[in-house]
A and B are shown apart, each in its own frame.
Chain A
């Protein structure tokens, strides 16, 4: 579904992503792990066209996205949930859900069925939600774009274990429906539970790839590149 080949990103003169390649198969879940500053967020931002200078190829179902502006990349079928959640504070919960809604599949009814806590808060301002609710809203808002691939930047960051569990169940359910997922995480247990393939990113390059069980068998990789 998503194929990244030889991705490079520069911030000024520093070469932060140095030839990264990865694929997310249709309906598959892929996690990108790494320390702070490894380039995880930068990789996601580069996919969405949000970095100034990049090289390499990014394709979604064979269609090249490199030369498109961010809104066209999103419209090609990718929904992005940023690290900060990016909830629009001056929009109500309902407006947050509908402002970028398009396509069919995920409707307001289905979203409110899946996220009952948002139903009660539909007329609240986006800024009035708790961290967990904001994360749910950010995911629900992304689903309303009816994308084929969901990109999430540290969805569990700063959330209580109970909420992390809820998000895990939710994303596992979404994966079952055939939605592709690309996820950046620091939470190893969460990432390995959800993802079919795990990529370990360090200093702008993929240092290791495999599944969760294999990762448990290579302590030197976790020690050198994840610091756990």
Chain B
């Protein structure tokens, strides 16, 4: 049964779906860590808040699609405020202070969510188009999971295009290559990175809504993905788009196949993968370009 091709194909799709979610989450965290040198442990909190905002929008308007747009926008705005009020002033602080402050924010987020939405688990209903299943090698597979995979790939393609082909992308690459020279040519590197930070927050919010129908929405849902996301960032190589995608793929697959093939070792599987990757490549799979 374990080597049945249909079973493996289904698990492969599950792995891709998890990788897709992890990518949406990791890309923002990786960029903030790699470009701005900031460790934001509260990135998962943005994901959870995205899920809750999506929940409220979907319930009050009846539209999942509206939730899919509104949550990222709202989370980006929240990230913006968060950056201006707190993060900006923490940039020069030691990593330990950053970790402590953003770790504290996790609990603030948790209690805020409990206060506003209550201490229950919620689900989001899917629109009819995404609710059914399709046949994959004779098995029925949920369309929604394929939708998540497609969305992840679309976001990856859009980010790649944005980084390589747009003016903001060129400004960001210049800032990453050589921050001082970019500034001495009149480029506001801080502003370009701030735009990227907000985009990363929006993607965390998007990941939250997208995950809601599959993983359900509950206080603390951020903690279960935070560790996985951090591992993705570390093994992918901080500050690299390609690294976030590759790291998400490795961890998505390791987690999914670990659980079905060696259930007894599933919980240590991803850590073993992380250790192996870091032993071979201490800087992660993809080295970000730095001036």
Contact = CB atoms under 8 A, between A and B. Distances in A.
A48 B170 CA distance: 22
Contacts, number: 71
Interface string B17-42: 00000000000000000000000000
A61 to B, nearest CB: 17
B97 to A, nearest CB: 20
A82 B186 contact: no
A91 B167 CA distance: 11
A100 B183 CA distance: 9
Given A95-B170, A99-B170, A99-B171, A90 B185 contact: no
Contacts of A141: 185
Given A71-B187, A74-B185, A90 B173 contact: yes
B173 A71 contact: no
Contacts of B228: none
Interface in B176-190: 176-178, 180-189
Contacts of A88: 173-174, 177-178, 181-182, 291
A100 B176 contact: no
B183 A90 contact: no
Interface residues of B, number: 20
Given A69-B183, A82-B180, A90 B188 contact: no
B183 A70 contact: yes
Interface string A64-97: 0000011101110001101000101111000100
B180 A142 contact: no
Judged by DSSP, the binding face of B is helix
Nearest to B179: A70
* Residue among B177, B180, B184 with the highest chain A CB neighbour number at 10 A: B184
A102 interface: yes
A128 interface: no
Interface residues of A, number: 24
Contacts of A216: none
Nearest to A85: B181
B59 interface: no
Judged by DSSP, the binding face of A is loop
A50 interface: yes
A99 B187 contact: yes
Interface in A86-122: 86, 88-91, 95, 98-100, 102
B264 to A, nearest CB: 45
A131 to B, nearest CB: 16
Interface string B256-273: 000000000000000000
B174 A145 contact: no
Contact of A90 (B167, B176, B180): B176
Contacts of A95: 170, 173-174
A91 B185 contact: no
Contacts of B170: 91, 95, 98-99
A2 to B, nearest CB: 15
Contacts of B177: 88-91
Nearest to A92: B170
B181 A90 contact: no
A52 to B, nearest CB: 11
A184 to B, nearest CB: 14
Given A88-B177, A88-B178, A74 B289 contact: no
14 contacts: A50-B183, A70-B183, A71-B188, A80-B181, A86-B178, A86-B291, A88-B181, A91-B173, A91-B174, A99-B174, A99-B187, A100-B182, A100-B186, A142-B185
Given A80-B184, A99-B171, 16 more contacts: A48-B184, A71-B186, A71-B189, A80-B185, A82-B181, A90-B176, A90-B177, A90-B289, A91-B173, A91-B177, A98-B170, A99-B167, A99-B187, A100-B185, A102-B186, A145-B186
